[in-house]
Amino acid sequence: MKLPIVAIIGRPNVGKSTFVNRLAGDQQAIVHDEPGITRDRTYRPGFWLNRDFQIVDTGGLVFDDDTEFLPMIREQVMLALAEASAAIFVVDGQSGLTPGDREVADWLRGQKVPVLLAVNKCESVSDGLVQAAEFWELGLGEPYPISAIHGNGTGELLDQLMTYLPSPEDLEEEEEEIKVAIIGRPNVGKSSLLNALTGEQRAIVSPISGTTTDAIDTVIKRNDTTYRLIDTAGIRRKKNVEYGAEFFGINRAFKAIKRADVVLFVIDVIDGVTEQDLKLAGRIIEEGRAAIIVANKWDAIEKDSNTIYEHQKLIESRLFFMDWAEVTFVSAMTGQRVENILDLIDQAAEGHRRRVTTSIINQVLEDAVSWHNPPTSRQGKQGKIYYGTQVTSQPPSIAIFVNDPARFNDNYKRYIEKQFREQLGFKGTPIRLFWRGKKTREIERSANRATRVK
Residue spans per domain, the chain: 5-170, 177-351, 358-453
Closest CA relative to residue 228, chosen from 188, 261, 192, 267: 261
| 3-state secondary structure at position 82 | helix
Pairing between β-strand 115-120 and β-strand 216-222 as defined by DSSP bridges: unpaired
pLDDT reported for residue 171: 65
Are 220 and 229 in contact by the 8 Å Cβ rule? The answer is yes
d(CA 260, CA 232): 12
Q: What angle do CA 339, 355, 266 make, to 5 degrees?
A: 30
User: Which CATH number does the domain 358-453 belong to among 3.30.300.20, 3.40.1350.10, 3.20.20.70, 1.10.10.10?
Assistant: 3.30.300.20
pLDDT reported for residue 441: 53
How big is the chain, counted in residues? 454
pLDDT reported for residue 240: 46
Burial class from Cβ neighbours inside 10 Å (0-12, 13-18, 19+) for residue 80 reads: buried
| 3-state secondary structure at position 290 | strand
The secondary element (H helix, E strand) that includes residue 361 is helix 358-371
CA-CA-CA-CA torsion for 96, 126, 17, 12, nearest 10 degrees? 0
pTM score, two decimals?
0.61
Question: In terms of CATH, what superfamily is 5-170?
Answer: P-loop containing nucleotide triphosphate hydrolases (3.40.50.300)
The secondary element (H helix, E strand) that includes residue 445 is helix 440-453
Burial class from Cβ neighbours inside 10 Å (0-12, 13-18, 19+) for residue 418 reads: middle
Residue 77 phi, psi dihedral angles, 5° rounding: -65, -45
pLDDT reported for residue 3: 82
pLDDT reported for residue 267: 93
| 5-170 and 358-453 agree in CATH topology | no
CATH architecture of the domain covering 177-351: 3-Layer(aba) Sandwich (3.40)
Pairing between β-strand 5-9 and β-strand 86-92 as defined by DSSP bridges: parallel
Are 166 and 85 in contact by the 8 Å Cβ rule? The answer is yes
How many CB atoms sit inside 10 A of residue 429's CB?
26
Pairing between β-strand 216-222 and β-strand 225-231 as defined by DSSP bridges: antiparallel
Closest CA relative to residue 41, chosen from 254, 214, 221, 288: 214
d(CA 251, CA 215): 9
How many CB atoms sit inside 10 A of residue 434's CB?
12
Are 144 and 156 in contact by the 8 Å Cβ rule? The answer is yes
Give me the half-sphere count of Cα atoms (radius 13 Å) on the Cβ side of residue 21: 16
| 3-state secondary structure at position 235 | coil
Q: What angle do CA 74, 76, 81 make, to 5 degrees?
A: 95
User: Which amino acid appears at position 255 of this protein?
Assistant: K
| 3-state secondary structure at position 24 | helix
DSSP of 362-399: HHHHHHHHHHSPPPB-TTSPBP-EEEEEEEETTTTEEE
Average pLDDT of adjacent 10-residue blocks, the chain of 454 residues = 82 86 65 39 79 82 58 68 88 91 89 92 82 92 92 92 84 75 86 82 40 58 84 56 43 75 93 88 91 94 90 94 93 90 94 93 95 82 91 93 90 93 89 84 54 46
